[in-house]
Amino acid sequence: MFRWAHPEHLYALLALPLLALLFIVVRRKRKNKLLQLGDKILVEQLMKETSERKPLARMLLSLSAIGFLIIAWANPQIGSRLEEVKRQGVDVIIALDVSNSMKARDLQPNRLERAKQIISRLIDRLENDRIGLVVFAGQAYVQLPITTDYAAAKLFLNTIDTDLIPTQGTAIGAAIRLATESFTEKDKKHKVLIVITDGENHEDDALEATREAVATGVVIHTIGMGSPEGTPIPASRNGNAQDFLKDNDGNTVLTKLDEIGLEKIAAEGKGKYIHSTAGDDGLQVLLDQIGRMDKKAFGTKQYTDYEDRFQYFLAIAFLLLLTDLVIGERKSPWLERINLFDNK
């Protein structure tokens, strides 16, 4: 198999015709100026040691050398080995709370951004596992179906914000049910749900949804964002935080992490509860739990080892430039003495 490591560099080859044209123009101008000095035959007699063909040969050598340097720059590669590797992993769905309380700043820069950072690092650490994203507030929606495309997962992750769902609230139970339905495999293994929230659930029975999920083989971990003491929720106008959210009586609303509720969900879901703090986001604990799970074969990946071949083109370019330096522009006396058509 053949490929270019940097195919975009090959566009530099388009400069070669321009360089050749520039050489021709310069040579013609030089020749016209010499003819202005006097008779053509006389000028040729005065410059009889100057070769007419060597500059052309040197130009061709120089352009060829530049061409080979550009090819070396693009780095042609040859695939030397094709290897099939079995992919084994688990299905991981992350349910992320996007309610307004996730804008609280007891974690920097805020709970939601901190949660997105955790998810991003988790994606970086996954290898053969599949991943999906569910977002929830007063309702739950699938943001990304289960996929092995980690780049797409990060792209969708970056678009998540609190204005994604107009219905406010924290319907953890709805998120768990939707995530359970989103697992594509029907077996009762290899399925992990990670719920990331501040835990203030007022919408539904999250424990009942957890029991239903566990019955289908889903293991549920919970990550608590924020502080149990409570913190105000920033209120924004035109995208700028100007005040804090207040209730109908004008009192500042405090959002508190419900650790007890999240611990119950994790215990019922046969998983772990992790309190994300400024010093420890608990990601390693989560990865250890996923690593201990039985893996499912998802198919195979093909890997090809490529070997660089740029060095050969560099060597050719070096030889051409060396030849260019050796040739010079004057006629060689010993070549002039050779007469291939002498019949004597």
For the chain, give the secondary structure using H, E and C: CEEECCHHHHHHHHHHHHHHHHHHHHHHHHHHHHHCCCCHHHHHHHCCCECCCHHHHHHHHHHHHHHHHHHHHHCEEEEEEEEEEEEEECEEEEEEECCHHHHCCCCCCCHHHHHHHHHHHHHHHCCCCEEEEEEECCCEEEEEEEECCHHHHHHHHHCCCHHHCCCCCCCHHHHHHHHHHHCCCCCCCCEEEEEEECCCCCCCCHHHHHHHHHHCCEEEEEEEECCCCCEECEEEECCEEEEECECCCCCECEECCCHHHHHHHHHHCCCCEEEECCCCCCHHHHHHHHHCCCCEEEEEEEEEEEEECHHHHHHHHHHHHHHHHHHCCECCHHHHCCCCCCCC
Pairing of strands 140-147, 130-136: antiparallel
Among 51-65, 88-102, 263-277, 319-333, where is mean pLDDT lowest?
A: 319-333
34 band by pLDDT with thresholds 50, 70 and 90:
low
For the purposes of burial, counting CB atoms within 10 Å of the CB of 101, is it exposed (0-12), middle (13-18) or buried (19 or more)? buried
The sign one gets for the Cα dihedral 10, 14, 17, 18 is negative
Alpha carbon distance 235, 199 (integer Å): 20
Of 190, 200, 206, the C-alpha closest to 102 is: 200
Total-model pTM: 0.63
Q: In what order do the strands lie in the sheet with 218-225?
A: 140-147, 130-136, 91-97, 191-197, 218-225, 273-276
Report residue 279 as tokens: 């010093």
Checking if the pLDDT of 337 tops 60, the result is no
**Cα–Cα distance list, 27 to 30, 39, 52, 129, 148 (Å):** 5, 19, 10, 64, 60
Half-sphere exposure of 191 (CA within 13 A, CB side): 20
Which domains does the chain carry?
17-80+306-336 (no CATH), 86-300 (3.40.50.410)
Alpha carbon distance 315, 152 (integer Å): 41
End-to-end CA distance of the chain: 58
343 band by pLDDT with thresholds 50, 70 and 90:
very low
338 band by pLDDT with thresholds 50, 70 and 90:
very low
pLDDT tens digits, residue range 215-249?
999 999 999 999 998 889 887 655 555 678 787 77
Highest mean pLDDT among 27-41, 60-74, 182-196, 302-316: 60-74
Mean pLDDT, residues 312-330 taken together? 86
Contacts of 200 (CB under 8 A, 6+ apart): 101, 170, 255, 256, 258
- Percentage of the chain modeled with pLDDT above 90: 52
Instruction: Report the pLDDT value the prediction gives residue 53, as an integer from 0 to 100.
Output: 73
With tokens 């021709």, the residue in question is 24
For the purposes of burial, counting CB atoms within 10 Å of the CB of 198, is it exposed (0-12), middle (13-18) or buried (19 or more)? buried
Answer for the pair 124, 333: CB distance below 8 angstroms, yes or no. no
Report residue 179 as tokens: 């995530």
